[in-house]
Structures are given as structure tokens and as C-alpha cells.
Structure 1
Amino acid sequence: MIHPTLHRPARRTRARRASRILLALAAVAALISVDVPDALAGAPLGVTAQARRDATADRVGPLFAGGLDGGHFCTAAVVRSAGRDLIATAAHCLEDPDGTVFAPGYRDGEAPYGLWRLTGVHAAASWTDGEDPDADIAFATVAPVASVDEGQGAYVEDLVGGFPVAPAQPADATATVIGYPRTLEAPLRCANTTALISPTQRRIACPDLTGGTSGSPWLVEGALAGVLGGYEGGGTVPEVSYSAVMKDQAAQLYHEAADTADSDRGSP
């Protein structure tokens, strides 16, 4: 199980794997309407390149161990919620959330929307009790470590928006993955057609998604359809990545987290 620090990497993150970097998801219904802040079309399918600065990338950020000096080890994304303070990532990234902070839009040592400490974690019992790879998705509430600028809101969704969550996707959906390899200071982006390797796991062929990209959002038409994780902790080689298929369990988990997010704010 993961311990979110760089000096003691865990077996389920990609941080233990050799780094080869080449730059080249009625209440739920109201929250899953598609909102595409910027066009996701760009580079050819299956090509990984640095993600451009835009409203889509600003909703994604790395998870740091304690602060910017602690190094980043996983990726997360802001999703819509009643409390406007919810992020999604892989469950294996939140085994020990104490001290973990989220930095949306992070690039080159700068956190333009501030740092956000985790205040609560929502994970399925099948994950916490048995690390079921089909349940490798979690949601966490966040609160600001400090205000970015005086007068800005205290809710991360107010600053960068949030992805709707859309669990029901066809087997061959085209997904865009945005994530932060732990050796880079800017996010990578790749889009490709996905395929099911089982009824509960999905794969995508995108090169160079190495350690640190666990938890990266899989976006289908601008909505969160999964996160990098699941089978083999997300994959054992950087060319192919996996995500648990978001079915009823994940939808219910999101429903509970999104409707109760605001009540989780406060001390971790």
C-alpha cells in the first residue's frame, strides 16, 4: 500500500519503476453534465506531449508530500461537488493522506492556485479492506493551506472549476489523460482510444506516463471517466496504462463524496 512520501515509495505507485520521460467522472445527474472548458483535440492520438496551459490543465495538479519541497508523487483533479472542494485520484495514492497537499495548475515550482490540504478521504470498502484493483479510485475533500490572493474564494472549484463525472462510457471511448510524472515540473497530456481488458478494467496506449501519473484523470468529452490506476497499480510499463471502469460502486462513492463534501472541511 502506498505511503505518500518520496523517500519511502510504495509498491502500488509507479514511483518504484524506472523513469523514462519523453516529452513528445436526482444529485449525480446534475453534476455529470459535460463541461469542456477548452478543446481537448490537439496532438495525434497516442502521442504524449507537455499539456498546454488552459482551463482543463488548471483543474489537474500533483499531490505533494507536505509541500512543494516534499516532491510530488501522484496526480489528482478537481471534480464537481456540492461543497466545491472535491478532488479525484487513485485510491492507492491516499493510503496515508496526512500531510498531503494538492497543487492545481502546478508548473515549474509555482502553484498559481495555492496549496490545498486534504481534509477527508472517500474510498470504497473493497479497497480499504482488500485493495481490490477494481475499486482503485478515491475522492478527497480539500481546504486551502493559505489564500492565493486576498479576496479569492476558499473553495478550489471556485478557482479552477471542476470536471463533471461520467462513469458510463463505451468500451472504445477516446480518453485524454493529463498527469505529472514525478521527474517533471509540468503535466503531460495524451489522448487515445481506450479498450476493455476485462469488464472492470480499461487500458490506454500512451507513452511516457511514468511514476507520479497514478491518479491522473481520464477525460472523455470533458468529463471524468476514470483515473490512472487499477490493474497493476496503473501499469508496469510507461507505454500502457490502466483505469478501473467506473461502475455502480464508483458512482455511489462519488455521489456520497460530492453531496457531503462541505461537511468534511476542517481539521484533517
Structure 2
Amino acid sequence: MGLFRRTREDRVARRSYPVLTAAAVLAGLAIVSWPPSAGGGAAQAAREARPVGDTARSVRPPESSSRSFDGLPAVGALFDLDDDGKLTDHTCTGSVVKSPSRNLVLTAAHCIGGGSRRGNIGMAFAPGYHDGQTPYGVWRAVALYDPPEWASGSDPDADIAFLEVTDADGGGKRVQDVTGAMALEADGPVSGQARVVGYPSGDERPVACRNRVEPYSTTQLRFTCAGFPNGTSGGPFLAGDDEKTVVGVIGGHEGGGSTDDVSYSVIFGSKVKDLYQTASASSAAHSKS
């Protein structure tokens, strides 16, 4: 598969859009705590990793390969749009995360391109998509938020992004009110069982797998399970007893992984904190304008 198995930038023409800056940040919008990042290599990161989802009630037998299923309401496929605004191919995966504006979708930055902007992003989100059905509607991306380190140099440690979405039918609904949302967790490296969900390109159903997630380095997490090919980038690492807490997304090291058997994620920390605050503030302000 190679380094670019989940990258779509070579296929998507981009236009110029207004840049969104951190000046849009409003105080008091963070929903999680953000301690200093761990340092000292993978072994040190593993020692400092915080267990997640390892209670007797939450741990299930580990799986070695993904399985297709009907999907989750708050996880969906990201589609390219043609010039007429119609869905074409689904190329990546996203998940709805809790936010004051109730309209944010979390994914990997390499799924979209680089440079935070507002306008026609050329993508749409279909939560719960399966077998050609869009049970929770289609939501058009109207703004992109990614870290400056990704926009300027595709830093694998900054491969994270938020999309602001709006009802493609033109109604006033918010996606979070329709699908529910995942909690966003970023207390640094995590260790324990997680369920990873993604949409393989060309398939009409998502796949999922439960296994352990561990620090790969001081900046990256690793998840081992076969069956996460092209299209699963941006898929959430879901932890906790109810598997409704996002602790990572497929991306980062090797574009999320050079094989279908091992997937990676950026360790959520200060970059994700800052980006979430910016996206939350800007989308909340825009929804009121």
C-alpha cells in the first residue's frame, strides 16, 4: 500500500479561501484537561500512558481482524463532492464530537488538505452511512480547521483536523442533535482497549475492530488489527465503557500506517486542545452571525 495509502491530496484540486486564525478563539470553550506532553521515547511514553477502557465491564476479547457492520450514528464517511455538489467517492472517515456549536466532525488532516479556511471545502459527511443509505442525512463541510504545523509542512504529529458541517438540505438542524456525539479526550498518551471504526474506500459498509491501543512514541499511538485499508483514515479510536470517547484517529505516522494491519494516531495533547478551541470558537461565532 505504501506511505500514501490514505492520502487524497493528489486527487483534489484546491481553491483559495479566507484563512481562519486563532484570533477567533473564545475563552472557556475547552471541554477536557490538557496536561504537558510526555517525553523520553516510546518506553517512557508507555510508562506514563493513562489506562482507558480497562474495567471489567468494558474489556472484551481482542480481535485480530476488522469486521463489517451497519455503523454508528456519530461516525460516518467523508465524500468528495462534484461541481454540482453531488456525492462522488467516499475517501475518509469522520466522527461527530461534542462542541458548543454542535456541528464539528473530527478527522485526519491528510484527508482534506492543508490550511484552515471557510468556504466550499468540496466534501460532505454522511454519518451512519451503509449500503448506499444516509440514515442521518448529508452534511456539507463549510469550514476546515487544521494545525499550522500540518498546513505548512504536513507534520505527521499534527495530522488532525476538524470540519464544521451544515445541513445539506438547507435546514437549521445541527448534526450533533441528530446523531449524538463522541466526547473528546486528550490527557496525553493512553493505553488500553479501544474500538477503531473506519470506512474502506469502495466498500459500502464500515468496519470495526477492538484491540489494545498503546503509545508508539512520545507523539504517536499504535493499534494493531488487520483490515483497515485506504479510506479508513480519520476513523476514531473509541474508548471507555460505552466506547463513546475519542482518544485518537487513524493518521499521523506513515499517513496512518503503511500496511492495513497496523494503524497509528497522533497523541492528543496541546495541538488538539488549541485546534479544538479554535474550531469551537469560530464555528460558534459563525452559527450566531
TM-score by length of structure 1 reads: 0.80
Contact 2:256 2:265 in 1 (8 A): yes
Q: Which residue of 2 aligns with 1:79?
A: 97
Q: Which residue of 2 aligns with 1:246?
A: 268
Contact 2:188 2:269 in 1 (8 A): no
Contact 2:59 2:193 in 1 (8 A): no
> Which of 113, 117, 120 in structure 2 is aligned with 1:95?
113
Alpha-carbon distance in 2 for matches of 1:160, 1:238 = 28
Alpha-carbon distance in 1 for matches of 2:90, 2:70 = 20
Q: Which residue of 2 aligns with 1:167?
A: 186
Q: Which residue of 2 aligns with 1:19?
A: none
Q: Where does 1:147-158 land on structure 2 (aligned, <5 Å)? A: 154-158=173-177
Alignment pair present for 1:112 and 2:141:
no
TM-score by length of structure 2 reads: 0.74
Task: Give the Å deviation of 1:154.
Answer: 1.1
CA distance 1:128–1:45, change in 2 (3 Å): same
Contact 1:68 1:109 in 2 (8 A): no
What runs of 5+ residues in structure 2 fail to find an aligned partner? 14-27, 35-51, 115-119
User: Structure 2 counterpart of 1:202, which letter?
Assistant: L
User: Structure 2 counterpart of 1:191, which letter?
Assistant: R
CA distance 1:168–1:94, change in 2 (3 Å): same
Task: Give the Å deviation of 1:248.
Answer: 1.0
Alignment pair present for 1:207 and 2:207:
no
Alpha-carbon distance in 2 for matches of 1:182, 1:93 = 12
Alpha-carbon distance in 1 for matches of 2:235, 2:12 = 18
Query: RMSD between aligned alpha carbons?
Result: 2.8
What runs of 5+ residues in structure 1 fail to find an aligned partner? 11-25
Q: 1:205-228: per-residue Cα shift (whole Å, max 9, x none)?
A: 011100100010111212111110
Task: Give the Å deviation of 1:263.
Answer: 3.0
Q: Which residue of 2 aligns with 1:47?
A: 65
Alignment pair present for 1:189 and 2:208:
yes
Contact 1:143 1:155 in 2 (8 A): yes
Task: Give the Å deviation of 1:120.
Answer: 0.8
User: Structure 2 counterpart of 1:209, which letter?
Assistant: F
Alpha-carbon distance in 2 for matches of 1:59, 1:31 = 23
Q: Which residue of 1 aligns with 2:250?
A: 228
Task: Give the Å deviation of 1:46.
Answer: 3.2
Q: Which residue of 2 aligns with 1:28?
A: 30
Alpha-carbon distance in 1 for matches of 2:280, 2:210 = 27
Contact 2:140 2:168 in 1 (8 A): yes
Where 2:222 maps in the other structure, the secondary structure is strand
Q: 1:53-97: per-residue Cα shift (whole Å, max 9, x none)?
A: 5xxx11011111116651100000000111100000000111177
Alignment pair present for 1:65 and 2:80:
yes
Task: Give the Å deviation of 1:168.
Answer: 1.5
Where 2:130 maps in the other structure, the secondary structure is coil
Where 1:58 maps in the other structure, the secondary structure is coil
Task: Give the Å deviation of 1:170.
Answer: 4.6
Task: Give the Å deviation of 1:259.
Answer: 3.3
User: Structure 1 counterpart of 2:142, which letter?
Assistant: T
Task: Give the Å deviation of 1:112.
Answer: 1.1
Where 2:234 maps in the other structure, the secondary structure is coil
Alpha-carbon distance in 1 for matches of 2:33, 2:169 = 28
Task: Give the Å deviation of 1:51.
Answer: 3.0
Alpha-carbon distance in 1 for matches of 2:219, 2:167 = 35
Contact 1:80 1:258 in 2 (8 A): no
